[in-house]
Amino acid sequence: MGPTVQQETVTHHGAPVVSDAPPTGNSSKRAPPPTRSQPPFPPPPPGSLAAAAATSPAAGMDCCRHVNPFRACSGLRGLGYLMVALVVAIAAVSYYAVVVYAWGPVLLAGGAAAAGAAAVLAAFHVVLAMILWCYFMVVFTDPGSVPENWRHDAEDSGDPSFSSSEEQGSAPRYCSRCQNGKPPRCHHCSVCNRCVLKMDHHCIWVVNCVGARNYKYFLLFLVYAFVETVLDTLVLLPNFIEFFQDDSKRSSSPGDIAILFIAFVLNLAFALSLLCFIGMHMSLVTSNTTSIEVYERKKAVSWKYDLGWRRNLEQVFGTKKLFWFVPLYSTEDLHNIPALRGLEFPTRPDAIV
């Protein structure tokens, strides 16, 4: 029997796209077994979740399986750098509009209004610092690599409270591209060209995969970006209204007016988009599901990783509430919560799939 060959490409926020290399229907057309010595990895039994995942609409539409758009699109990483440049440009426009154009002059003018301007500018800079901190943590933190020659050792431990393969009771999975075992919830990213632990999606905005070890940082980045865009929208609103009401304001240079207008509209648009995106991810976090697993969870009678919303939150944010708001984990949490390491995950004993 050949190995279970199931490879996914996941990209775009909340829109996983799976691109199985070979079709799964005909075993004779499967890729040849890897040359490295390893135990046999039989294909998933018919009707199993793994088999279903290989044929599900979310996990792999036929067209995507035969024609992988991302395999041909090695420039996706380059597109990511373009997106980063776009974010920097938006941040620069917002900074100019809020600090240089709208509130900086109020602060410098002194008087009663200066205290309010100082509060606005302080909040703006604190949230901006948090955004940058979270952003760089998402970009530079390894989302989770599979150790070389990883095997499903946890299965040998006999601990039924941990899921050590993609589905309890099924065959271990194997990645023919990495030529390595695949831990539960691990998926192969064709953009990064490697398997990623508890992969959520490949995010072109951060030029990195979002997985077990940087998902919390990604969520915090979204939340702080939302707070900042809402703040920008609110503090630019008086200037925006004033511009349409007061003719004297139109004496501002056309460049300033354009920047004010662009900053206000972009921040409003981003705030609304981020709100939807945060809502979607909060729903995933509280049910302990990744973007890739949404379809699998819908099929399950009770989702095996769902430990109750409080424990589900702790599986991503840790147990120390002080650390919930910063892109860090306590040493204790890293030691005590296996999900943060990404190789094994507690499951509910009464799960029905």
Residues that bind Zn ion (CB under 5 A): 175, 177-178, 188-189, 191-192, 195, 202, 209
Q: How far is the CB of 172 from Zn ion (least distance, A)?
A: 14
Of residues 43 and 318, the one with the C-beta less far from Zn ion: 43
Of residues 11 and 267, the one with the C-beta less far from Zn ion: 11
Of residues 174 and 224, the one with the C-beta less far from Zn ion: 174
For 40: left if phi > 0, alpha if psi spans -120 to 50, otherwise beta; the answer is beta
- Which residues, in sequence order, are CB contacts of 186 under 8 Å at separation 6+? 144, 146, 173, 195, 196, 197, 198, 199, 342
The three-class DSSP label of residue 44 is coil
Of residues 188 and 297, the one with the C-beta less far from Zn ion: 188
Q: How far is the CB of 336 from Zn ion (least distance, A)?
A: 28
Of residues 200 and 296, the one with the C-beta less far from Zn ion: 200
DSSP conformational letter for 5: B
Of residues 191 and 259, the one with the C-beta less far from Zn ion: 191
| Helical (H) or strand (E) element with 284 | helix 254-286
Residues forming the active site: 203
- Report yes or no: 164 and 344 within 8 Å, Cβ to Cβ: yes
| Helical (H) or strand (E) element with 105 | helix 104-109
Q: How far is the CB of 165 from Zn ion (least distance, A)?
A: 16
Cβ-count burial of 212 within 10 angstroms (0-12 exposed, 13-18 middle, 19+ buried)?
Answer: buried
Q: How far is the CB of 262 from Zn ion (least distance, A)?
A: 31
Q: How far is the CB of 195 from Zn ion (least distance, A)?
A: 3
Q: How far is the CB of 201 from Zn ion (least distance, A)?
A: 8
